[in-house]
Structure 1
Amino acid sequence: MSKGRVPFWDPDGSRFGGIPTYPWKMAPGHLATKRQLAADGLRPGGQQVCAQIMWRTRRTSGARGVPRGIAVAYLYDRELAKPKREPTQAQLEAIGKALRARRICPDCGIEQPYCLPKRYGACKECHGWEVRV
């Protein structure tokens, strides 16, 4: 496919807000999205967006003035990325307590094996749900 016919090919950033822009699956290999960095155990680490990927979509978009029908993913440099932070033991304990509190029914006081839905605020038995099998 020639790059002249690709609508989002703008590696110098002259057309799309001063940010280098690439079509889907055509970005350089040293750039990655936040999800790709996270999968590799990395985080952006405070660096600015290096480039972006744009593609057409049927979903509506409203992020940062992006026109409807166009999706954007921001890219970061892998070489400037930092390793993910490890949570402390106190943070892990706090998360565990918070998740346990979401499983305790305020009506009957029984801890359930699932998080209680915020919509009802009670367990299935107290709210009167019928369990479908």
Structure 2
Amino acid sequence: MATSNVRFLDPTGAKYGIPTFPWGWSALFNADLRTKAQLRAEGLSIAGLEVAAQLMWRSSRAGNRNGVRTAHLYHRSLARPVRPLTPAQERALARAHLARHTCTRCERVWDVYLPTSNGRQCPPPFGCEQIEAPEGFEHALAVAA
């Protein structure tokens, strides 16, 4: 490994306050540690969990002066399953998705999200007048109702 990664190695937390590992090294010290995105992919939530450790790495996309990015790590064994959506939440989510797919001018439904930059109208090369209504238009309205 590059010597620059070793400077982020602090398994005891003496230097950074919490145990800190270079990118990709946390599994070597504790296989139970996961990032928030990894837990969510496994259907788990970080609700109520304390940060157990952190990853640190150099990056040109850091957005700060020293060019270092961090990611918090949590114990997978302590994470809870994500609560399922209620029927009302599912309906609201379906309506929101339908609104993002529906043209505000001609009310046609598209397979892709319509950007707010053009007022959520039909894509510019076609326009609202030159296209056919997509298949499944009635089905999409029935799901959102």
TM-score of the pair, normalised by structure 1: 0.80
TM-superposed deviation, 1:120: 0.4
- Give 2:60's aligned residue: 58
- Give 1:32's aligned residue: 34
Number of residue pairs matched by the alignment:
121
Structure 2: which amino acid aligns with 1:110?
R
Where 1:25 maps in the other structure, the secondary structure is coil
Unaligned runs of 5+ in 1: 129-133
Matched, 1:118 2:133: no
TM-superposed deviation, 1:109: 2.6
- Give 2:142's aligned residue: none
1:54-111: CA deviations, max 9, x gaps?
111122334xxxx531111110011211111111111111111111122222222323
Unaligned runs of 5+ in 2: 131-145
- Give 2:6's aligned residue: 6
Distance 1:40 1:92 in 2: 20
1:105-130: CA deviations, max 9, x gaps?
222232333322100011121499xx
Where 1:99 maps in the other structure, the secondary structure is helix
- Give 1:131's aligned residue: none
Distance 1:127 1:6, change over 3 A: farther
Map residues 1-133 of structure 1 onto 2, 5 A cutoff.
Answer: 6-16=6-16, 18-27=17-26, 28-62=30-64, 67-121=65-119, 122-124=121-123, 125-126=127-128
Q: Name the Cα RMSD after superposition.
A: 2.2
Higher fraction of helix: 2
